[in-house]
């Protein structure tokens, strides 16, 4: 009887330390409180009227106004996925079939090996995370020429993303022996969603994910920028350009904005 009592006590303690924490809201379960908020406004493509604006400052502000809600929406969806992973991590001994399916889908989406549970969850937490809007907006500005590039206007490609498939837009100028095509997207939201997924999964951006994983939230875009040295052949010069653009245009102000 004494042995049975010990086993029962251990079982109760196990329940307390696994199920109960998962039922109590944790800091990571609570949405971040922003200084201001805005409504989601869907803009499918670069508007014709944008290209008619002559004043550079006005054109920049117009583009940022268009893209910010799209970036915030993409981040909000990633935040939801991340909260799911963290909740599952705390209650993994009692996962439902639905939770196991959701975890498997996320692992597939983010290219994470499902062989070892602990390793899978830790890698998911490394990959399933947001980027500061200022950093996303800065890269969109650089890669699209502030929304004026042919790829952005005709293909909704804000980030110069290339495709390995046979379909895509062909750059007018390419180095000899380096033939490639640039991706086309159905809308600007799809371009931003894919960009964030690419940053969160591609081996070239492992450094950024390591920096982010070791940083407190909200993340510092100027620090994360150093993890994007491989995004361009410019390397460190590209990083400095990103940082300069963020600071000069005060893009960090947008990191304090959330969706309603």
At 181 the pLDDT is 87
pLDDT digits (tens, 9 = 90+) for 33-55: 788 999 999 999 999 999 999 99
Bridge partners of 182, per DSSP, are: 162, 169
Q: Which residue has the tokens 């799911």?
A: 84
Question: DSSP string spanning 4-73?
Answer: HHHHHHHHHHHHHHHHHHHHSPPGGGSPPPPSEEE------S--HHHHT---HHHHHHHHHHHHHHHHHH
Residue 172 has pLDDT above 80, yes or no: no
Residue 26 has pLDDT above 80, yes or no: no
- Is 50:62 a contact under the CB 8 Å cutoff? yes
- Is 249:237 a contact under the CB 8 Å cutoff? no
Q: Domains in the chain and their CATH numbers?
A: 75-129 (no CATH), 131-260 (1.10.530.10)
pLDDT digits (tens, 9 = 90+) for 115-135: 888 999 999 999 999 999 999
Nearest 5 degrees, angle CA 170-CA 176-CA 180?
A: 30
Nearest 5 degrees, angle CA 127-CA 133-CA 135?
A: 80
| Residue of 93 and 156 predicted with greater confidence | 156
Strand pairing class (162-163; 181-182): antiparallel
pLDDT band of residue 178 (cuts 50, 70, 90) is low
The three-state secondary structure class of 135 is: helix
């Amino acid at each position: 009887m004494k042995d049975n009592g010990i086993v029962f006590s251990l079982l109760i303690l196990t329940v307390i330390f696994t199920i109960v924490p998962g039922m109590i809201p944790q800091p990571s379960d609570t949405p971040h409180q922003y200084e201001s908020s805005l409504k989601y406004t869907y803009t499918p493509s670069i508007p014709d009227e944008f290209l008619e604006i002559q004043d550079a400052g006005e054109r920049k502000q117009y583009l940022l106004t268009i893209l910010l809600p799209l970036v915030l929406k993409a981040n909000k969806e990633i935040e939801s996925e991340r909260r799911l992973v963290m909740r599952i991590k705390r209650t993994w001994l009692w996962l439902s079939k639905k939770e196991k399916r959701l975890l498997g889908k996320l692992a597939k989406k983010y290219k994470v090996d499902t062989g070892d549970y602990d390793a899978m969850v830790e890698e998911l937490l490394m990959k399933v995370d947001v980027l500061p809007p200022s950093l996303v907006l800065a890269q969109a500005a650089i890669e699209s020429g502030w929304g004026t590039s042919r790829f952005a206007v005709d293909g909704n490609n804000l980030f110069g993303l290339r495709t390995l498939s046979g379909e895509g837009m062909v750059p007018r100028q390419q180095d000899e022996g380096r033939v490639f095509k640039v991706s086309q997207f159905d809308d600007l939201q799809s371009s931003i969603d894919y960009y964030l997924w690419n940053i969160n999964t591609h081996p070239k951006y492992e450094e950024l994910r390591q920096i982010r994983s070791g940083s407190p939230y909200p993340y510092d875009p100027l620090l994360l920028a150093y993890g994007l040295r491989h995004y361009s052949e410019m390397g460190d010069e590209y990083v400095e350009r990103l940082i300069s653009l963020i600071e000069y245009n005060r893009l960090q102000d947008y990191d304090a904005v959330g969706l309603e």
